[in-house]
Amino acid sequence: MSKHGRILVAMSGGVDSSVAAVMLHEQGYEVIGLTMKTWDYATSGSSSKETGCCSLDSINDARTLAVNYGFPHYILDIRDEFGDFVIDNFVDEYLAGRTPNPCVLCNTHIKWEALLKRANKLDCEFIATGHYANIRQHDNGRYVISKGKDENKDQSYVLWGVSQENLSRTKFPLGSFSKSDIRQMALDMGQEELAKKSESYEICFVPENDYRSFLRHKVEGLDEQVAGGNFVTSDGMIVGQHKGYPFYTIGQRKGLGIAFGEPMFVTQIMPESNTVML
């Protein structure tokens, strides 16, 4: 019997979740690894090799680690619910002139629910992820998420929507460590290739982080619908034409496609008139 009970660990195949799983295993938890398949590039219009947390290589890396340490590993296919909710919202938000944060939406409505549903079926008391964040219970009984030790890697901001009930069963083993600590732990475990794995800052379902190409693939005829709108200044002066309002985000400075002679930032997006204000 394990010292601390059974825990379901979300494993992407990357260094963070892998070290988190081994850390809990060595602390005496009965670890069960779970990799969630949220997306595949075959439906994204990309001709590039599939990469990131949903790739076959990443799934195999997670499974190999679990086998080496002697704990079970499962794969959970949540592509249908992920696509219907997260991806559709991603497209809708850009078409509404807003910049979405799909990670918040996924954590709030998809990932935690999927993890806990499977945890219940496997009789796991807790779930854990490789997020750089901390969780504590306040004197009033509420669970509070706070920044992890490594402020450069802090991920607490994408977890604000996770419910109190779900937080009560969640653990973040990496919250008190820096990224360099975790890489060193992987080396100490003899996992040199794992320690060398590059960071992934991309949205898992957007190939090469090119959201414009992704939108074009998802919305037929998008370029024809939105091309030729105006860049305007705050006083209403037209200063050029853009390629379509969904291809810009508030605060954007680079990649506007026009040289203005001075730094210009996107301050407002008006879908109804296909106007981008600078």
CA-wise closest residue to 205 among 90, 104, 100, 94: 90
How many angstroms separate the CA atoms of 78 and 95, rounded?
A: 25
Q: Which residues of 231-263 are buried (b: 16+ CB within 10 A; e: fewer)?
A: bbeeeeeeeeebbbbbbbbeebeeebeeeeeee
Measured at the CA of 72, the angle between CA 60 and CA 82, to 5 degrees, comes to 60
Q: What is the CA radius of gyration of the chain?
A: 21
Bridge-based pairing of strands 143-147 and 268-270 is unpaired
d(CA 138, CA 140): 5
Residue 153 near residue 185 (C-beta atoms within 8 A): no
The widest CA-to-CA distance across the chain, in whole angstroms, is 72
Structure tokens at 213: 């190409």
Catalytic residue, chosen from 53, 54, 106, 124, is: 106
Residue appearing with tokens 């802090």: 154
Catalytic residue from among 53, 54, 124, 204 = 204
Return d(Cα 89, Cα 105) in angstroms, integer. 9
**Burial per residue of 101-110, b for 16 or more beta-carbon CB atoms within 10 angstroms, e otherwise:** ebbbbbbbbb
Distance CA 227, CA 177 (A): 47
**204 part of the active site:** yes
The residues carrying an active-site annotation are 106, 204
